[in-house]
Structure 1
């Protein structure tokens, strides 16, 4: 199912380019030339995402954003501008923007950003919430972070080797931390007590390094 996108951009040429490019990327784009028209459309239907220019005649993208955020709490909002300053970016984020992009931007990167913001904004099921809590809990402990670091470096390790590399002599304590990582889906345990990162664990570990 395509994601619905509300686009407010007063540059006619750029608006046409964005509609064409994002439609090809699988978005259902409703485009308008002003923030006022965007608000009218938001009153008529729900959108997954909004992409607003800051500077438009009449209401700014940031002013419109605050209204839409009240109407549609789960909508993902990306603000764009050709005149970026730190103050404008901070103001946009404080008022509810999920992302702030400076023109000109890469269209392929824009599509990725929109999809990422949608994923972050989508309501989570109780199961997803519990899984996220387990992951956050796992990463909150320095021993568990060290385990993930060693498994990232060595691909897979036996229990005793992992103990030695992380520097933990208490095997019972260390086993508790490993079990927590396994239960959270970040680490897998195979025969012979050999441990390795799961695909999810590798993804989480990569994001920790950014």
Structure 2
């Protein structure tokens, strides 16, 4: 088996990347195009991360943890809410009068979700799941992110087996759309300090 980060290390690493993207958003001037480009980059990361969790982490939570079904359902409900927020932001430009407020609300929601996972769910998973399984899940999550959608699809199924069947197809369509439009095919903007 290929050695790499286990599922908790992989997902926590994703959290730090997204925290960094939120921090970059904070220092960009309101209304500038780089804010929209950075939000697109953040959306890509959030959607890929969420899909990978729903495909691999949450089924393991259901299987291995006491009350795992309730825990997984709560996490998926958080994802559904975030996807609705991302869908709302998707059609807005950085100069939209509600853009900054919606980004702040998104950050609040996502940060609370990360804190809940890292403070409660991940320790439970670490204690309740064999290290070999955690390592295997880490590899599966890395693979899932390669084919996962890159755009919010709030009405797509988020539970097995439908999610595992549909996610790669949605991901392919999203990546084709991204290629045609140029979305996500640029380096992340470098944050500039506000004046």
With the length of structure 2 as denominator, give the TM-score of the two structures: 0.26
Which structure's residues are more often helix, by fraction?
A: 2
Which structure's residues are more often strand, by fraction?
A: 1
With the length of structure 1 as denominator, give the TM-score of the two structures: 0.24
